[in-house]
Amino acid sequence: INMPKLTGLEATRKIKHEFPDIKIVILTVSDHVADLFTALQFGAQGYLLKNMDPDDWSAYLHALLDENSEVSRKLADRLFHQFRTGQSSEISQPNVLTVREQEVVIYVAAGEKNREIAERLVISENTVKNHLKNILEKLSLDNRVQLTSYAIRNGLTQNI
């Protein structure tokens, strides 16, 4: 996912734009749920963690190469189970953000401080901090910079 000049996610988007028929599988150590969904949104056909069972990699890649074959539901379930259970305990499953949380994300991405967000939304600064904590947890992100990147990748900054 993290590469020197361009992230693997951005590279995926550019490659799929230039060569829409190419198949891309991300092989990574990143178990961030947001990275998985962004990779799939940008056109990757797969997302494999380096710590997964190599037999699962092989079965998945063979099925991907065989145009007449689809990965069995059992294999897909096993891959996603490994993805979910391989995550650290702090990483929650993806949840939909509330409308208020989406508003907070937009203001964070615009560079607003907690105090400024509180004034705009007519809530306390502590409430903003709680929303921010919940947002980061739901999206498996660590800080405001990652949240801003997520907001940009997911089109949440279009009205800023």
CATH 3.40.50.2300 boundaries in the chain: 8-85
| Pair 128, 117: CB distance under 8 Å | yes
The correct answer on CATH 1.10.10.10 for the domain covering 99-153 is yes
Say yes or no to pLDDT of 152 above 70: yes
pTM for this model (two decimals):
0.44
Confidence label for 113 from pLDDT (cuts 50, 70 and 90): very high
Average pLDDT over residues 117-129: 95
pLDDT at 82: 60
Average pLDDT over residues 134-154: 86
The correct answer on CATH 3.40.50.2300 for the domain covering 8-85 is yes
Average pLDDT over residues 118-126: 95
Q: At 111, list the tokens.
A: 């560079």
Write out the DSSP string of 127-157: HHHHHHHHHHHHHT--SHHHHHHHHHHTTTT
Average pLDDT over residues 113-127: 95
DSSP H or E segment with residue 47: strand 46-49
CATH 1.10.10.10 boundaries in the chain: 99-153
